[in-house]
Amino acid sequence: MPRTALLFATWALLTTPIYGDGVEFQRDVRPILVKHCVSCHGARSQKAKLRLDAATLIHQGGDSGTAVIAKQPAKSLLLQRITSKDPDLRMPAEAKPLSQKDIAVIRAWIAQGAAVPANETIPAGPEDHWAWKPPRRSKRLAAGGNVIDLYFDSLHKQKKVETRPTAGREHLLRRVSLDRVGLPPTRKQLHQFLSDKSPGAYTKVIDRLLKSPHHGERWGRHWMDIWRYTDWFGLGKEVRYSQKSIWRWRDWIVESLNDDLGYDRMVVDMLAADEIAPSDIQRLRATGFLTRNFNLFNRNYWLDDVVEHTPKGRSWG
């Protein structure tokens, strides 16, 4: 055999895939489809309602029916479209046609029966993301008996942490009292709670604490930190920026929380009570938020502080 002919024969053997019965969808076919077809026929987009990123879905087909017919490559729509000479029909559209090698792989897979891999996993689409699924109530109770405990059950098992038993009623009362009003319950309140065996006993405690004037005092401190309240404002012992009546704003905050005024109404009054209700002394106290930033020597500093801290203070709402 001439040397040139031998060289071409060897090259043909090396470049022509020898599949026999060994073509596998996951290993040989899917990478080709992912590279050339899945952008239009995958989990994110399904033109003609056709997906080509899983063998199961290829058999399922789209608007034009099944994309492959096992052992009949010539009658399989998938092969017809990727080999078509008509530019309006050939796929992938507006892209280079598949190489003869890639086409041969797909043809061989179909000819061998277009087998679906065992236990094939269908790639999840955007609609399968948990954020788009309606919440479902768990059919089981968490170890702690509360829905929120479901989030910690698996972590407890992983760390081998045992769930604490339910707190006693005396501990429950102490915790909620310190949380709501910042004060422990009195002996009388403890006795009343322990003696009340009705289903709404705990709800009664919550209602009582929310109606307590100490509730506004306790939680007003947090809001005053956010809104930069202070009685003293100056350098060292200087109090030149301090406002003699700033405490009226403090009282307004506490009273507003106790009266359940509403965050939106509180914001409006702090920024514009002097414009909205200039004759209402009680509402005018809210503008302490503006005078809190007062600068004796430079009005621009004053306004700059107001502009800076207004969005900062409101973002906590």
Distance CA 106, CA 77 (A): 12
Q: Which of 252, 217, 245 lies closest to 231 in space, CA to CA? A: 245
Q: Looking at residue 7, what is its pLDDT? A: 46
Q: Is 227 left (phi over 0), alpha (psi -120 to 50) or beta?
A: alpha
212-218-219 Cα angle (round to 5): 105
Same domain for 191 and 251, yes or no, is no
Among the candidates 118, 151, 186, a domain finishes at 118
Torsion of CA 226, 228, 229, 233, to 10 degrees: 160
Q: Kindly report, residue by residue over 112-130, the tens digit of the pLDDT.
A: 999 999 989 898 888 888 8
Residues of the chain with pLDDT under 50: 5-18, 317
Please say whether the beta carbons of 52 and 41 come within 8 A: yes
Dihedral sign of CA atoms 41, 42, 47, 48 in order:
positive
Let me know if residue 162 belongs to a domain. Answer: no
Which residues does 296 contact at the CB level (< 8 Å), separation at least 6?
240, 241
Same domain for 204 and 226, yes or no, is no
Same domain for 71 and 111, yes or no, is yes
Helices of type H across the chain: 3-15, 30-36, 55-60, 77-83, 100-111, 150-159, 169-180, 187-195, 201-211, 213-226, 247-258, 263-276, 281-284, 288-291, 299-314
Q: Kindly report, residue by residue over 58-85, the tens digit of the pLDDT.
A: 999 999 999 999 999 999 999 999 999 9
Let me know if residue 201 belongs to a domain. Answer: yes
Among the candidates 80, 100, 118, a domain finishes at 118
CA atoms within 13 A on the CB side of 225: 6
What residues make up the domain containing 40? Answer: 11-118
Q: Which amino acid does the sequence have at 61?
A: G
Same domain for 278 and 307, yes or no, is yes
Which residues does 45 contact at the CB level (< 8 Å), separation at least 6?
39
Coil vs helix vs strand at 41: strand
Same domain for 28 and 50, yes or no, is yes
Let me know if residue 25 belongs to a domain. Answer: yes
Q: Count up the domains in the chain and report the number.
A: 3
Let me know if residue 123 belongs to a domain. Answer: no
Same domain for 205 and 228, yes or no, is no
Same domain for 192 and 224, yes or no, is no
Same domain for 225 and 271, yes or no, is yes
Let me know if residue 1 belongs to a domain. Answer: no
Distance CA 55, CA 120 (A): 8
Among the candidates 153, 188, 211, a domain finishes at 211
Both tokens of 302, joined, read 């004053």
Same domain for 194 and 229, yes or no, is no
Q: Looking at residue 136, what is its pLDDT? A: 77
Same domain for 19 and 59, yes or no, is yes
Q: Which amino acid does the sequence have at 98?
A: L
Distance CA 51, CA 38 (A): 7
Please say whether the beta carbons of 252 and 286 come within 8 A: yes
pTM of the model as a whole: 0.51
Same domain for 62 and 98, yes or no, is yes
Same domain for 192 and 228, yes or no, is no
Q: Looking at residue 308, what is its pLDDT? A: 78
Q: Looking at residue 14, what is its pLDDT? A: 41
Distance CA 4, CA 12 (A): 12
